[in-house]
Structure 1
Amino acid sequence: MRRSARRGRCARLGDAAIAAVTVVALGCGVWLLGGGAGAHAPPQPAAAEGRPDAGVERPTAPALAPSPPTRIRIPAIRVDAPLMGLALTRSGSLDVPPARNKNLAGWYESGTMPGEPGTAIVAGHVDNAEGPAVFYNLGALRRDARIEVDRKDGSVAVFAVDAVEVYAAHDFPDEKVYGAASRPELRVITCGGPYSKATGYQGNVVVFAHLTDSR
């Protein structure tokens, strides 16, 4: 993906299927360059929303049969967006949705499908040149918030948020975020952390969630 000099650079993201560490440029920070981070910075996760102690797992709904996702809804932050499939670029990084479409997210289509066992990955922009984008308010999510994913077979996978965290690019916990899971889990990722006009966002906001229902 070509990056202009005006675009910020996001932190490290990984390929969950092959556990490879990659770098993704989500085009974050474009809007902030015009107005300054102080006035427009998106919300960042509160410490209280961090991941609970390891080994503490809440009830999980039965896994669903594989079916590609088509839409994601997060009512608490007014997200209702279509999902497009994302592949890897020639450099091995995860591709991203077109920055010009602010209400579009993507999922890693060579990995786990949301609702089946494993760790499914959804990513999207925090902003674009016009202003806030689909995951601008992702850092404001609270534990137990609901995430709904529409699937091609007509079913809806319902996830509950376990934690919302922010990680610096130089200290991104790949295994924690992308590691294999025996139950159906979901990660929703966008840019976050400290912001610099020279480099854009210096980290990522990551939402951890697990399947709790389906319909």
Structure 2
Amino acid sequence: MRRIGNTAIVSVTVVALCSGAWLLHSAGTSHAPPQPAAAEGTPDPREEQLGAPALPPSPPTRIRIPSIRVDAPMTGLGLTASGSLDVPPADEDNLAGWYEAGTAPGERGTAIVAGHVDNTRGPAVFYDLGALKKGSVIEVERRDGEVAVFTVDAVEVYEAKDFPDERVYGAAKRPELRVITCGGGYSKATGYQGNVVVFAHLTGSR
């Protein structure tokens, strides 16, 4: 099967991923998920040349982010008819997806992972993603038995109209990871107004 570069993704499917179903049904915004602090949004330039050697391609099977209590299986994601990234089933509370036509986590390049912030029942897998801090650890189990260990470089939030496709999805010379969910302001009419994006790079494996 032909591999599609990450630049083929036009934008995150904001409507499907970011409807804010739980907040809408709870008739308020008192339960809004945490948003990243401004201080978490600037990568340390000293980290740009650091990192662990790339791993061979292998599909991910599970993602763990200990500091926000994420421990979830993973499923492959494709593109919608409009060219945007598809999303995991909305009724799955604890499921993350990865763009399987692109880079696998741990492989050289930019791997893309996405998941819901909530659904009609309440918080979903990446509800607390905006609370991550620089230096936090993300572990991705792979089908080949390796665990790719990433360190968070930055956590940023973007309004949908200003989503920086190239910065998020663009090619990288080292193994990098992007983890994406909903964020920004919230409106009952349209749901979440943007996305939280975590930037991380490979720092080890086991």
Q: TM-score, normalised by structure 2?
A: 0.93
- Counterpart CA distance in 1 for 2:43 and 2:5 is 22
**Structure 1 gap ranges (5+):** 1-14
CA distance in 1, matches of 2:142, 2:22: 32
More helix by share: 2
Aligned residue number for residue 3 of structure 1: none
Question: Which region of structure 1 is more displaced relative to structure 2, 86-95 or 139-148?
Answer: 86-95
Structure-2 residue corresponding to 1:21: 10
1:102 and 2:93 are equivalent in the alignment: yes
In 2: Cα distance, 1:120 partner to 1:213 partner: 16
Distance 2:104 2:12 in 1: 22
Which of 51, 54, 62 aligns to 1:63? It is 54
- After superposing on structure 2, the runs of 4+ consecutive aligned residues of structure 1 that deviate more than 6 Å are none
- 2:168 matches 1:168: no
Q: Contact conserved, 2:141 with 2:147, CA < 8 A, in 1? A: yes
Measured against aligned partners, the alpha-carbon deviations of 1:36-63 in whole angstroms (never above 9, x if no partner) come to: 4431100000011012255752520110
**Aligned 8 A contact 1:145 1:161 in 2:** yes
- Judge which range, 82-91 or 40-49, deviates more: 82-91
Paired AA for residue 90 in structure 2: A
Q: Does structure 2 conserve the Cα–Cα contact (< 8 Å) formed by 1:28 and 1:126?
A: no
Deviation at 1:34, TM superposition (A): 1.8
Identity of aligned residues (%): 74
| Partner in structure 2 of residue 191 of structure 1 | 182
Once superposed, what is the RMSD of the aligned Cα atoms? 1.5
Q: Which amino acid aligns with 2:72?
A: A
Match of 2:83 among 69, 92, 95: 92
Give the secondary structure class of the aligned counterpart of 2:17.
coil
Instruction: Quote the Cα distance in structure 2 between the aligned partners of 1:142 and 1:37.
Output: 27
- Give 5+ residue unaligned stretches, structure 2: none
Question: Structure 1 length as normaliser, TM-score?
Answer: 0.89
Contact 1:26–1:125 under 8 Å retained in 2: yes
- 1:203/1:67 Cα in 2 relative to 1: closer, same or farther (>3 Å)? same
Q: Is the 8 A contact 2:18 2:181 kept in 1?
A: no
